[in-house]
Amino acid sequence: MANVSAFEIATSQALAGVPHGFLGHSKGAHQFGYGGEGEEQAIRDARAAAAQAILPGGTLVAPHQVHSPDVLTIKEAWGDPASGRPQADALVTATAGLVLGIVTADCAPVLFADPHAGVIGAAHAGWRGAHSGVLENTIAAMESLGAKRSDIAAVIGPTIAQASYEVDARFRDNFTVGDSRFFAAGREDHWQFDLPGYVSARLEASGVHSVTDLGLDTYALESSYYSYRRATHRAEPNYGRQLSLIALR
């Protein structure tokens, strides 16, 4: 079993009172994604121990992520096998004892809570998911459980920052002229894309109570976070995933 005391966990005052955390790799000690390096059982143990660190006695619920806008409403856990988990990129619940989990390696992990209604959510928002509505769908699913968007706090965890995220014209063509503020000029025919800024803007436009960006760059903060892009630039054979968790007591 992973060492709970060794976990590196970032939290936000915006979610004070709600068990949550954005877990880094603790200088390479932890790898939370089944697609990353490590034995399957060791990864499962690390994920379970992380859930216990956030909510003792809680049970992890994590989907198989596919860069979709799809959200699942969770009432009970389904276990944590390496394969066969339901596919989605966001989860919501009003059930105490469940620890919602999202893995990332540059994409934005977003944790949501309406503490008054007792409803929480977790979303994996890469550019594809954010662009296709995973954030708005998460908020709508929380509302279906009794949350009010005017009471929802949303926090963006470790995400690749604009200075680290170079994109080309083909990428930019996915966006509208109105999104030009998220693209800073770079080398010829390339731009720097502001993923956390884009996610923040969509959350703010949805009318949630508050939006907080922890401002942690997965690419630059190598001692704490995995980065798909950093691994790609180095031609490394694989890359790890960090884990973001939120629960209801």
186-214 pLDDT, tens per residue? 999 999 999 999 999 999 999 999 999 99
Look at residue 5 in the predicted model and tell me its pLDDT. Answer: 52
Lowest mean pLDDT of 3-7, 62-66, 119-123, 206-210, name the range.
3-7
Q: What angle do CA 129, 224, 93 make, to 5 degrees?
A: 45
Distance, in Å, from the CA atom of 189 to the CA atom of 169, rounded to the nearest integer, reads 6
Look at residue 6 in the predicted model and tell me its pLDDT. Answer: 85
Pair 23, 157: CB distance under 8 Å: no
Tens digits of per-residue pLDDT, 74-114? Answer: 999 999 999 999 999 999 999 999 999 999 999 999 999 99
Q: What angle do CA 113, 116, 122 make, to 5 degrees?
A: 15
What mean pLDDT value characterizes the chain? 96
- CATH H superfamily, domain 4-247: CNF1/YfiH-like putative cysteine hydrolases (3.60.140.10)
Residue ranges per structural domain of the chain: 4-247
Tens digits of per-residue pLDDT, 116-138? Answer: 999 999 999 999 999 999 999 99
Pair 71, 102: CB distance under 8 Å: no
Distance, in Å, from the CA atom of 158 to the CA atom of 219, rounded to the nearest integer, reads 9
At 1, the pLDDT band (50, 70, 90 cuts) reads very low
Q: Which two tokens stand for residue 194?
A: 């502001």
Look at residue 237 in the predicted model and tell me its pLDDT. Answer: 87
